[in-house]
Amino acid sequence: MSPFIWRPEDHAWTRDSHVARFMAKHGFTTFDELHAASVRDTTWFWDAAMQDMGVEWFKPYTQVKDESRGFPWTKWFLGGEVNITHNCIDRHVRNGHGDEVALYCEADSGRPDSRNAFTYAQLSRTIDACARKLRDLGVGPGDSVALYAPMCVQTVEILFAACKLGARFVPIFCGYGETALVERLASCEAKVLFGVEHLHRRGKAIATGGIVRAAAAKVPSIRAVILFDTPQWPEFVYSGGYGTPLECVCTAAEEPALLIYTSGTTGRPKGTVHTHAGCLAQMGKELRYAFNVQPGEPFFWFTDIGWMMGPWEIIGCLLYRTPIVLFDGAPDFPNSDRLWETVSRLGVVTFACSPTLIRLLMRATDSQGPQGYDLSRLRVLGSTGEVWDEASYLWYFENIGQRRCPIINISGGTEIVGSHVCPTPLTPLKACTVGGPSLGMDVAVYTDEGQPAPRGTMGHLVCRQPAPSMTKSFLHDDARYLETYFQKFPGVWYHGDWAKVDEDGRWFLFGRTDDTMKVAGKRVGPGEVESALTAHPAVSEAAVIGVPDDLKGTALVCFVVLKPGMAVPTEADLAAQVARQLGKPLAPKQVFVLPALPKTRSGKIVRAAIMRVFLGQPAGDITSIDNPAAFEVIAELAKAQAKN
């Protein structure tokens, strides 16, 4: 049984946390009691949470939820009118907080003259002008405003301008190529596309304006293209009545605010649809009760607007006047201390990133490392996106959090713009845990037969009741929505993750079920094998795939990246490492050492693409891959194997 490494009773601030006060207010003595009540009566919970979060309504809702059409089609906060922009920007200015900093912007160069801070009042003036110009272009409720750009102040302003009009904000990862961009723009019938002429990465300018213009030319619905790193942006804003306030549209609670597409690395992208009320409910709940955000305390999640965590951070933090750090650049440029210097300089209280990023920074040898910076203001760490290995998790906990900051390791997805499982400041933590079910989320682990799995047994992560932020089908594709989430276990949301609850009630995830391999009759997830490999002292990170095998049906092929300065272990040594931890039948057939693993910018290892390349097939759509050159090394290994 794994030991607990962090306990809330050892940290006085947890007793005055938002979740502790909410629990006491409603007469519960333990978090488990509160969670049980939150799923026993979800109507009570979401109503109580909305009141506690202080969400302002133009018109109060008369009914919390309506399940008359069944779980997949549940409607929330019926009769209510609410707007994201009003709650995150306008009311703060109205209430006298206009001079408070809302955003800290860090550019790629890292130079002091490239840093900026923006107040709520500054944002409000630009948002209103942008919204007015969008309205002049014919944008209104139900229309789509797309963005193909990085994390910078204009990104936030465009998001809130679209929401202010009741339009749908569509963030698109700016690493995609023209084909992927066209597919998404055409799907949502975007009326306006915002982009940049150039991205800046590691001190180099990367031309993207040509992709923007070429894609827009192929989508008939687009009426205007605005590149906001050119004179177009000030002309656009200052001709929109800059400085003149604009009232929010009183959007219905179920009116869509966000359309977010999945990455496309696993097939045709799915357009997820999220409402004003659903976003405020789920994002607001998680930032308040899991991360304990406070006004004025900087929050820094290293992410991108093209992934769910970008809008999640922006909306969830600004709802509470929690300033956010927008980072547009590489995490290790101009050196590997870039993030720690930023955290120290801005006095960041909450910092979060992916396990892959931690594994990258653990290997850094070009700088002082976190011990060279004052990280004493940090109170909470966060993480999401993939399965942790214990060595990397503990490095993060000990070196960044100094053993005093809990790691709020959340897991959910774009489909719910939030988490199914996450710890809170009241959760005792073990290494790599995701804590347990989130408040209001009736989550369970099921066997293949659709029954609750015994503790200690790996099974399917499911959610047995609806939540406000669950996608309103897929855009133009109800059948695929039902097939994806409700076909495997009728009447239950099937999320597609492997999960396990240990003897102490702590939850752990083991990767996607569609990544699972069956080796010599034994089912194993790649996360288990990768964790076994990274437990080796020389291994920094790993990726595992299954390939056809005459004897075992499927054999494991592993790819590892080594820590700098470590002696190169033999293939037999690494295979034996897996065999010792998981048993001899699961010993890998082959283990290859790579300089880097191919990953998306959000840090996800693309195992399916790795497998295709290793088997001599086309990689597929790799426009979201941060380092596509890594595939070339794998392809060369595959060719060498074919000759042997």
Structure confidence by residue, pLDDT tens digits, 523-535: 677 877 888 899 8
Mean pLDDT of the region 340-351: 98
User: How far is the C-alpha of 82 from the C-alpha of 77, rounded, in Å?
Assistant: 10
**428: number of Cβ within 10 Å:** 18
Q: 263 falls in which pLDDT band (50, 70, 90)? A: low
Q: Is residue 10 part of a domain?
A: no
pLDDT at 299 over 60: yes
Q: Which of 445-454, 608-617, 623-632 has the highest mean pLDDT?
A: 445-454
* pLDDT for the residue numbered 42: 98
pLDDT at 479 over 90: yes
Tell me the pLDDT tens digit for each residue of 588-597.
999 999 999 9
* pLDDT for the residue numbered 156: 98
Q: Is residue 556 part of a domain?
A: yes
* Tokens representing residue 242 in the block: 């800059």
Q: Is residue 637 part of a domain?
A: yes
Mean pLDDT of the region 183-199: 97
* Tokens representing residue 37 in the block: 């009540």
Q: Could you tell me how far CA 367 lies from the centroid of its own chain?
A: 28
* pLDDT for the residue numbered 365: 84
pLDDT at 602 over 70: no
Radius of gyration over every alpha carbon of the chain, rounded to an integer in angstroms: 24
Q: Please, which residues have CB within 8 angstroms of residue 22's CB and are 6 or more apart in sequence?
A: 34, 48, 49, 52, 289
Domain count along the chain = 1
- Of the two residues 548 and 254, the one the predictor is more confident about is 254
pLDDT at 315 over 90: yes
Mean pLDDT of the chain: 93
* pLDDT for the residue numbered 516: 73
What CATH number did the domain enclosing 541 receive? Answer: 3.30.300.30
* pLDDT for the residue numbered 265: 41
Q: Is residue 368 part of a domain?
A: no
Location of structure tokens 């569509």: 170
- Structural domain of 539: 517-643
Mean pLDDT of the region 480-489: 95
User: How far is the C-alpha of 74 from the C-alpha of 281, rounded, in Å?
Assistant: 15
Mean pLDDT of the region 89-108: 98
